Structure 1
Amino acid sequence: MEVKAKGISVYDRNSELRLFDDSKVGVKGLVDSGISKIPRIFVHDYQVKKLEQKSNCKNSQFNVPIVDFDRIYEDKARRYEIVERIRDACENWGFFQVINHDIPLSIMNQMIDGVRGFHEQKSEMKKQYYSRDVTKGFIYNSNFDLYQAPAANWRDTISCVMAPNPPDHIDLPPICRDIYFEYSTYMMKFGHTLFELLSEALGLDSSHLENMGCTEGLFVLGHYYPACPEPELTYGTSNHSDSGFLTVLIQDHVGGLQILHENKWIDVPPTNGSLVVNIADLLQARQ
């Protein structure tokens, strides 16, 4: 937004941020309005973005580890092999994909459909959930750090704390309510298994991380990235680390996830039915 001060046009970023936030329509609402140019608040530094794009690595020599959980409770030798795979992935990547994790593909697809369904509703249906009040049971907004980040990302998000104190059933939108609760049940079970294996990979008793409380919480995010008229100027998600949180992701068939490995940005192609695990800074060892 441009304002004039003594006859000179000055960009008023704060006003543009407030105008966008107060509209409660998110990035999807901008797209639905038919814009051909993105608002300036979403424009990232061009030279930085250009340099990062050049650093992208699509070399097939790098493949994010895939860990198969098949027969994890049935075969001790197999479990040891899985633990070793996880240890290696954590030490050398900080990421790995998991297959045969006992979360049905139908549940994962329904979760993706539920998130997409919410974001593709009419704006009037979504506005009642738009908020920056983190105490609410269910939140819809665009960019949790909208007023702090140097540039906004081209995405909208729904979020909900599902454990240890889940919201009332009625607090969630009907379009994704049931699948949020069903998916969370499966994810909590998967979390227990994952923290058992991570404990063993650290050379500890399998219940060590659980006894520390690591399995108690579950925060579910549903990002949505609408088509952008000027994708060369912005990001869906800028580079970041999930400090302090172990993150488990479902990618849809479009993909787009990249991770930094050996100072190169590596594509993580979506693998049907897999979960992507990011251990973030959770398991850093200090000497």
Structure 2
Amino acid sequence: MSVCYKQSIMDYEPPLLEAYKTLLQSSSHKRMKNVKSTSSILSKVLESSGEVPVIDLGRLNSTDHLEREDCMKEIIEAAKQWGFFQVVNHGISQHLLQQLLLEEIKVFHRPFADKSQQFSTTTHYKWGNPFASNPRQLLWSEAFHISVPLGQTNMGDDQPKCLRSIIEAFASKVAALAEMLAEILSHELNIKSSYFRERCLPNTSFLRLNRYPPCPIPKQVFGFLPHTDSTFLSIVYQDQVGGLQLMRDGKWLGVKPNPHALLVNIGDLFQALSNGAYRSIKHRVVAAKKEERFSAAYFYRPSNDAVIESHGTPRLYRSFTFREYIQQNEKDLKQTGDKVGLSRFLYVQ
């Protein structure tokens, strides 16, 4: 039985260790120095796990005007001070979220050969980092990037019907949630309420299903490297394993999972739009030695031609289209291995 179990695991695991073997063996002395440094950092972070603000969105439906106003103020303040916040009573049922997680586990536990060859028409399967040029760029994760809404595309007979219907239900509800939060945040900036409806069309956002496999070398790699999101907002549902960390006051803070909450974070576009008032915070995922971790992230993005213009004086960022921003990020990643991000679009003082 144990042999069959091991074989089934090998069937669905992406060959991360094999793909990274040469890179990990190169410059081993330098890598060992990084291992000690990373180990020290991770131990400190995991001892200081904490709670980002938790906001009860049910108050937005209150008949008490002051209660609604207080809830909106909390959202705005969290975007300014933290860049991250959790929301409960968000309108997405626990049953739907649990179904999404169960179906996600099923699809990631399909044989690797199937995952890497199927879902190609509307869903892009990715694993690791094929462009890594040094050990610090290694990713211990796999993901499905799914275009939404699914009704506009043909996903093929190989797409599990149950997963499709759950993704459609989740994407529909989380899209409405993202639009509502964006409008609350834009009101503080004196931006018209139709701003996001005009720019974030139904087919411009996408969903990413993430799996972080057990990692035999958790002190040498990350599940996902430190980064900021190139979006207006990201909304994440995660399991209870933990591993997500955000940068706060120059230190990495572990985010304690909340089974009833969705995690919301401000992206680069909202930081630029708000002229720096809202914060797009660097975050990462650490690798775990024995446990696999799952999450589903919805990225609220505009069309490629949408112009992002800072609202504030003096303007910190020059105007740019979303296409320009993505192209610049891709160029930087190819040339340096890192995303430079918003600093490329700062006005020269």
Indicate the TM-score class for this superposition, using the shorter chain for normalisation: 0.7 to 0.9
Q: Tell me how far apart the structure 2 counterparts of residues 108 and 214 of structure 1 sit (CA, whole Å).
A: 24
For the aligned residue pairs, the C-alpha RMSD in angstroms reads 3.2
- Match for residue 61 of structure 2? 73
Q: Tell me how far apart the structure 2 counterparts of residues 42 and 200 of structure 1 sit (CA, whole Å).
A: 49
What per-residue deviation string (whole Å, max 9, x for no partner) do you get for residues 214-273 of structure 1? 776321101111111121111111111113342111110101110001101001111012
- Match for residue 244 of structure 1? 231
How far apart are 1:147 and its partner, in Å? 1.9
Q: Tell me how far apart the structure 2 counterparts of residues 147 and 169 of structure 1 sit (CA, whole Å).
A: 28
Contact 1:199 1:207 in 2 (8 A): no
How far apart are 1:146 and its partner, in Å? 2.0
Contact 2:79 2:266 in 1 (8 A): yes
Relative contact order, higher structure (CA 8 A, sep 6+): 1
Compare the two structures and name the one with the higher helix fraction: 2
How far apart are 1:122 and its partner, in Å? 2.2
What per-residue deviation string (whole Å, max 9, x for no partner) do you get for residues 144-171 of structure 1? x522564330111111110497422537
Q: Tell me how far apart the structure 2 counterparts of residues 27 and 40 of structure 1 sit (CA, whole Å).
A: 22
Contact 1:155 1:236 in 2 (8 A): yes
Structure 1 residue runs of 5 or longer lacking an equivalent are 1-24
- Tell me if 1:268 matches 2:247: no
How far apart are 1:276 and its partner, in Å? 0.8
- Tell me if 1:231 matches 2:218: yes
- Match for residue 52 of structure 2? 64
Contact 2:53 2:78 in 1 (8 A): yes
- Letter in structure 1 aligned against 2:73: E
Q: Tell me how far apart the structure 1 counterparts of residues 46 and 131 of structure 2 sit (CA, whole Å).
A: 34
Give SS of 1:70's match. helix
Alpha-carbon spacing, 1:47–1:97, altered in 2? closer, same or farther (3 Å): farther
| Stretch deviating more after TM superposition (179-188 or 149-158) | 149-158
Q: Tell me how far apart the structure 1 counterparts of residues 148 and 126 of structure 2 sit (CA, whole Å).
A: 18
- Match for residue 156 of structure 2? 170
How far apart are 1:115 and its partner, in Å? 1.7
Contact 2:54 2:86 in 1 (8 A): yes
Structure 1 segment 115-264 matched on structure 2, within 5 A: 115-129=104-118, 136-143=121-128, 145-147=129-131, 150=134, 151-163=137-149, 166-170=152-156, 173-174=159-160, 176-213=163-200, 217-264=204-251
Q: Tell me how far apart the structure 1 counterparts of residues 212 and 195 of structure 2 sit (CA, whole Å).
A: 38
- Tell me if 1:108 matches 2:100: no
Structure 2 residue runs of 5 or longer lacking an equivalent are 1-9, 276-309, 316-349
Contact 1:154 1:236 in 2 (8 A): yes
Give SS of 1:258's match. strand
How far apart are 1:80 and its partner, in Å? 1.1
Q: Tell me how far apart the structure 1 counterparts of residues 53 and 76 of structure 2 sit (CA, whole Å).
A: 11
- Match for residue 92 of structure 1? 81
Alpha-carbon spacing, 1:185–1:214, altered in 2? closer, same or farther (3 Å): closer
Give SS of 1:176's match. helix
Aligned residues: 255
- Tell me if 1:28 matches 2:16: no
Give SS of 2:60's match. coil
Alpha-carbon spacing, 1:137–1:149, altered in 2? closer, same or farther (3 Å): farther
Q: Tell me how far apart the structure 1 counterparts of residues 66 and 198 of structure 2 sit (CA, whole Å).
A: 25
What per-residue deviation string (whole Å, max 9, x for no partner) do you get for residues 173-207 of structure 1? 21622211121111122122212212223344443
Q: Tell me how far apart the structure 1 counterparts of residues 178 and 203 of structure 2 sit (CA, whole Å).
A: 9
Alpha-carbon spacing, 1:270–1:263, altered in 2? closer, same or farther (3 Å): same
- Tell me if 1:39 matches 2:21: yes
Identity of aligned residues (%): 25
Q: Tell me how far apart the structure 2 counterparts of residues 214 and 279 of structure 1 sit (CA, whole Å).
A: 19
Q: Tell me how far apart the structure 1 counterparts of residues 133 and 82 of structure 2 sit (CA, whole Å).
A: 27
Q: Tell me how far apart the structure 1 counterparts of residues 264 and 105 of structure 2 sit (CA, whole Å).
A: 22
What is the TM-score when the length of structure 1 is the normalising length? 0.76
Give SS of 1:243's match. coil
Give SS of 2:247's match. strand
